[in-house]
Amino acid sequence: MSILFPVLFPIFVLILIGYLYAKTRPIDMEFANRLNMDVFIPALLIDALSRKSFNLIDYQPLALAGIIVVLLSGVLAWFIAKGFKLSVPMFVPSMMFNNCGNMGLPLAILAWGNEALSAAVVLFLSSNLLHFTLGAYIVGGKISWLNLLKMPVNIATIIGLVISFTQWEIPSAIHKPIEMLAQIAIPLMLVALGVRMTTVDLKAWRIGLLGAIVCPLVSVIVAFGILFFMPLEPSQRVQLLMFAALPPAVLNYMFAEKYQQQPTEVASIVVVGNAFSIFVLSLMLLYLG
């Protein structure tokens, strides 16, 4: 408990606050979510990528490992979907793309401190790039490259990487407001996740339970397989295994709703998966020590 409580308790408290507040008062999170995606998360990315300790070359193996985890998890999920006669656009993306934003970033900071943020951000960016390209194609059958390039998250990523490559030190007068905006992103993501959980229907709880088990299971199996062939330095190994154990991303539900790919079933996968994650993440944290 001395390991688990300080890490998991703050995360689930913020999720619970969002859930209970939305249950007692009508709330529209559209503006807050848009502000987070367009301002706070981009500020977080610039802050993390422009740190003096961040060197993209050092994180290339981790980025590659994260991409392989996502892709091979999708392959295994495809076979499971076929075996259970499930819709591939509904089931497979939810098994590939996990909550590395809402849950992965705060988990890395709370468990290992700010020095772990860079590795968590690299995995978040790798997964996000695939989600808005391959994931969008699986669910909707099309990709808007122009819209992808115009997304503030991607613009911020490019800015952060340029700063990292040029080793430019951001003046403190500019860096301080960026840092302040970045500090809003993670708590708001967790509260928004709790709010989102009040809007979904759990009628398809069976598929939700299947997804809650399959998502971390296939990813963790793939991650251990990767580490057997691709040894990473200890801190990156830890972040890869933690990344693999995360539950399905809320964004999967938003894509399913947008393209009408059984959003009720996907919502159940997301909600049950995130509830079930307290056990999965506890086991992974205990394993990682």
pLDDT, tens digit (0-9, with 9 covering 90-100), for 152-210 = 888 988 898 888 888 888 888 999 999 999 999 888 878 887 887 787 666 677 898 99
Q: How do residues 115-148 score in pLDDT, each as one tens digit?
A: 888 899 899 989 988 988 899 889 887 777 777 7
Check residues 200 and 15 and name the one with the higher pLDDT.
Answer: 15
SS3 239: helix
pLDDT over 90 (residue 68): yes
- Whether 185 and 40 have beta carbons less than 8 Å apart is answered as yes
Render 249-287 in DSSP notation, one character per residue.
Answer: PHHHHHHHHHHTS-HHHHHHHHHHHHHHHHHHHHHHHHH
Position 31 confidence tier, pLDDT thresholds 50, 70, 90: confident
Tokens representing residue 136 in the block = 């969008």
What are the tokens at 206? 């069976």
Classify domain 4-288 by CATH architecture. Answer: Up-down Bundle (1.20)
d(CA 42, CA 178): 9
Domain boundary assignment for the chain: 4-288
Res 52 pLDDT > 70: no
Phi, psi of 37 (to 5 degrees): -70, -30
Query: Residue 10: what are its φ and ψ, rounded to 5°?
Result: -60, -35
Minimum mean pLDDT range among 104-108, 216-220, 260-264, 277-281: 260-264
Please enumerate in sequence order all residues whose Cβ is within 8 A of that of 89, keeping only pairs 6 or more positions apart, or say none: 138, 139, 140, 256, 259, 261
* CA-based nearest residue to 239, from 73, 136, 163, 127: 127
pLDDT at residue number 221:
97
In this predicted model, which residue has the larger pLDDT, 12 or 197? 12
Give kind and range of the element (H or E) at residue 45. Answer: helix 41-49
The partner residues of 248 in beta bridges, in order of sequence, read 98
